[in-house]
């Protein structure tokens, strides 16, 4: 007969979580460190939360690595998810890491806005093929408010491009694109 401790130890070992960690490590991702993997059990289904702590790790690349572990059964007729026996994979960036990165890059954003303003709206070259520019042909344009993060009224007044194609005009995404561009 098994003891309570034996049952607890069996529950603590999760082969799917262990395999996810091994696959991530095989691709050069530090687990724990750059990424954490957590298991949530609920009824007959399991969910695996992959929390990205290092924002240089690409969520899309992670999804490609771990998608083989996701197993969700759907009703053939209605398309609804059937309850029980499903394995869900959730990938998200750590909120604290995102806030810290935004603070770290605030000065860089301010410098880019200043440089784009001095260049009268011409594009500023960033790293990795990205460029940044500010549209200055509007009477309501206020560079100081943009630098301070008052993005809503100004969100279409600037752009980020990669290799000549628009990537975003969302000021809130600016810091994220700086991470992608290698800042």
Q: Does 124 score more than 80 pLDDT?
A: no
Kindly state the percentage of the chain with pLDDT values over 90.
25
Could you tell me if 54 and 118 lie in one domain?
no
User: Using CA atoms in the order 133, 139, 140, 145, what is the torsion angle rounded to 10 degrees?
Assistant: 50
Could you tell me if 130 and 64 lie in one domain?
no
Could you tell me if 40 and 8 lie in one domain?
yes
**d(C-alpha 183, C-alpha 170), whole Å:** 18
Pick from 93, 110, 131: which residue ends a domain?
A: 93
Q: Does 138 score more than 60 pLDDT?
A: no
Q: Does 52 score more than 80 pLDDT?
A: yes
Could you tell me if 80 and 108 lie in one domain?
no
Report which DSSP code applies to 123.
Answer: P
Could you tell me if 81 and 141 lie in one domain?
no
**d(C-alpha 7, C-alpha 9), whole Å:** 5
How confident is the model at residue 37, as a pLDDT? 93
How confident is the model at residue 122, as a pLDDT? 67
**d(C-alpha 167, C-alpha 13), whole Å:** 43
How confident is the model at residue 19, as a pLDDT? 93
Could you tell me if 132 and 65 lie in one domain?
no
Could you tell me if 66 and 106 lie in one domain?
no
Q: Does 45 score more than 70 pLDDT?
A: yes
Average pLDDT over residues 136-165: 58
Q: Does 65 score more than 70 pLDDT?
A: yes
Radius of gyration of the chain, Cα coordinates, nearest whole angstrom = 22
Confidence band of 41 (pLDDT split at 50, 70, 90): confident
Give the chain's mean pLDDT: 77
Pick from 37, 64, 93: which residue ends a domain?
A: 93
Q: How many domains does the chain have?
A: 2
Could you tell me if 41 and 83 lie in one domain?
yes
Could you tell me if 88 and 110 lie in one domain?
no
How confident is the model at residue 64, as a pLDDT? 93
**d(C-alpha 137, C-alpha 117), whole Å:** 11
Could you tell me if 114 and 88 lie in one domain?
no
Could you tell me if 115 and 157 lie in one domain?
yes
Pick from 28, 62, 93: which residue ends a domain?
A: 93
Could you tell me if 174 and 135 lie in one domain?
yes
Average pLDDT over residues 94-113: 80
How confident is the model at residue 119, as a pLDDT? 63
Its domain, for residue 159, covers 98-180
Q: Does 10 score more than 60 pLDDT?
A: no
């Amino acid at each position: 007969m098994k003891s309570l401790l034996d049952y607890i130890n069996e529950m603590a070992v999760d082969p799917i979580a262990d395999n996810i960690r091994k696959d991530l490590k095989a691709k050069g991702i530090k687990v724990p460190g750059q990424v954490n993997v957590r298991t949530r059990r609920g009824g007959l289904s399991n969910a695996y939360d992959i929390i990205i702590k290092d924002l240089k790790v690409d969520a899309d690349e992670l999804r490609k690595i771990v998608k083989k572990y996701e197993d969700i059964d759907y009703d053939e007729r209605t398309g609804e998810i059937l309850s029980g026996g499903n394995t869900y994979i959730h990938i998200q960036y750590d909120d604290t890491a995102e806030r810290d990165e935004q603070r770290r890059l605030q000065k860089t954003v301010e410098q880019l806005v200043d440089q784009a303003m001095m260049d009268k709206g011409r594009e500023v070259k960033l790293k990795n093929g990205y460029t940044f520019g500010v549209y200055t042909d509007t009477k309501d344009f206020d560079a100081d408010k943009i630098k301070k993060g008052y993005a809503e009224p100004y969100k279409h007044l600037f752009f980020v491009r990669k290799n000549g194609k628009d990537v975003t005009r969302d000021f809130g995404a600016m810091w994220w694109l700086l991470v992608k561009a290698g800042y």
